[in-house]
Amino acid sequence: MEKVYSSLNEIKEDISNNGLSCVSLVESYLNRIEENKHLNAFLEVFTDEALAFAKDVDAKIANNTAGKLAGMVIAIKDNICYKGHKVSASSKILEGFESLYSATVVERLLAEDAIVIGRTNCDEFAMGSSNENSAYGNVLNALDNTKTPGGSSGGSAVAVQANLCLASLGSDTGGSVRQPASFCDVLGMKPTYGRVSRHGLIAYASSFDQIGPFTRSVGDMALITEVISGGDEFDTTCSKQAVPNLSENLGFDKKLKLTYFKSYIENEGLDAEVKGRFYEIIENLKADGHTVEETEFEYLDYLVPTYYVLTTAEASSNLARFDGVHFGYRSPNGTDLESTYKFSRTEGFGKEVKRRIMLGTYVLSAGFYDAYYTKGQKVRRLIKDKTEQVLKDYDFILTPTSPHTPFEIGKQNDDQIKMYLEDIYTAQAPIAGVPAISLPLGQHSNGLPFGFQVMAKSFGEQELLSFSKYLMDNN
Ligand code: GLN
């Protein structure tokens, strides 16, 4: 591709002043997707349809009737439904399944004239931190093909990293947008629980799941978030709270009161350079007149266990519907109803998904329900209350997004504890329901990137994005 765009504004500028058309823009993205096929970021590219849509958008631009995302070429994670298109959650069990309706987020993107270019690879049912759990192969980090892009929204992150589209949507249950954003040097945000409709998102853990964007600029993050946010009659957990004009209010001139937690940073699991850079940003903030206080959060060690007890419980219930009868893959080996269920689920689900269904079934079983599930809910409440309290006392909580830079493909996938600990810094926000963003502010001497995470108050996206813009401009 001749030119690499970092924001919709740059594209709009070229459309207005330099004769760029959406058709030629889509063509150049399609070329790049073809050239970068080895990255395995896309499971399907909607070539003809994207070109046809681009032609329509060009006509609307000429008539001055185009929506605010005209010129935005976007990819969607393969767990977001788009009517008449395949959706598989990167699972064999949904092989061949086509969406009967579109997710609310897709409807809203299309209504503003975004061009959906394809669906992206991910960990099966969004369970994983490296994209190694996809039934359709690994996604490669574009910066170093031996490294993972993170997960579970690895394909969505790489699509933006490698300029295969301008932006993408992922889903974040415990870090699946923010951790791959950190690994791929792009921005990734998990909005407040209930800010964005989950209608049409294939559920993993319904009380945690949120759809969130990957972008190369804060402006695009704000724009996409404002388009996809807001009440939806199809999702009763989606808030009706008014959506501010996020993208028009990114100015920032406040002196803030910020905090970070000592045990998160003075932790032997944290890479020394990631830590060094974290403190450097803290010093910059102080030098600019902000107050940054070191405090403590006593539940750090409970975040990952709480997350896995509760999300596997929800997953075991959500994934019960994939039985070989209602959707997708049906085993040819079944001889009656029960064996059809058994064979279809045994053959259709991958190893990690089966592990989680079994874990979740265990924590919900009669004898262990109180010991695990009820206890997990109680600990979630403690974490949520304490997080909210901290966010009453401080404007934002600062942490690294991930303790390290991208790890090698194949190195860690047999060590479940290690893999689950990938979520150490990202699990808190979805446990508490608060919004969090990963900003690409770290460059390691090993040549790989890492992110800086900011957590904000519930429905504090406007403040979070304004502060993000300031951080990106000043670091
Ligand atoms: N890595 C986490 C997990 O495997 C997060 C996944 C997600 O956010 N969907 O569950």
Q: For a pocket test of ligand 1, which of 127, 357, 422 has the largest count of ligand atoms closer than 8 A to its C-beta?
A: 127
Looking at residue 3, what is its pLDDT?
85
Pocket lining: 173 vs ligand 1, CB cutoff 6 Å: yes
Q: Which atom of ligand 1 is nearest to the CA of 356?
A: 10
CATH number of the domain enclosing 456: 3.90.1300.10
N-to-C CA span, the chain: 29
- The stretch 143-149 carries a mean pLDDT of 98
Looking at residue 413, what is its pLDDT?
83
pLDDT in tens, 330-358: 999 999 999 999 999 999 999 999 999 99
Q: 32: domain range?
A: 1-475
115 beta partners = 73
Residue nearest to atom 4 of ligand 1 (CA): 128
In the structure, what pLDDT confidence band is assigned to residue 208 with cuts at 50, 70 and 90? Answer: very high
Distance from the alpha carbon of residue 139 to the mean position of ligand 1, in angstroms: 16
Pocket lining: 423 vs ligand 1, CB cutoff 6 Å: yes
pLDDT in tens, 54-69: 999 999 999 999 999 9
Pocket lining: 208 vs ligand 1, CB cutoff 6 Å: no
Measured between alpha carbons, how far is 264 from 399 in angstroms, rounded to an integer? 7
Which position has the higher pLDDT, 327 or 123? 123
C-beta pairs of 282-290 under 8 Å, 24+ apart in sequence = 282/398, 284/474, 284/475, 285/256, 285/258, 288/474, 289/255, 290/255, 290/256, 290/257, 290/258
- The stretch 209-237 carries a mean pLDDT of 98
Rounded to two decimals, what is the model's pTM? Answer: 0.98
Measured between alpha carbons, how far is 408 from 396 in angstroms, rounded to an integer? 32
Q: What percent of the chain has pLDDT over 70?
A: 100
Domain count for the chain, please give it: 1
Active site residue 239: no
Q: Which atom of ligand 1 is nearest to the CA of 179?
A: 1
Phi-psi map region of 19: left, alpha, beta (phi>0 left; psi -120 to 50 alpha):
left
Pocket lining: 127 vs ligand 1, CB cutoff 6 Å: yes
333 contacts: CB under 8 Å, gap ≥ 6: 339, 343, 347
The first and second tokens of residue 207, run together, are 């009380």
Pocket lining: 435 vs ligand 1, CB cutoff 6 Å: no
Closest CA to 130 of 447, 404, 412, 354: 412
- The stretch 388-392 carries a mean pLDDT of 98
Catalytic residue among 88, 90, 129, 176: 176
The first and second tokens of residue 359, run together, are 């874990």
Measured between alpha carbons, how far is 81 from 119 in angstroms, rounded to an integer? 10
- The stretch 415-436 carries a mean pLDDT of 96
Residue type, 254: K
Q: Which atom of ligand 1 is nearest to the CA of 176?
A: 8
Least confident of 86-100, 173-187, 406-420: 406-420
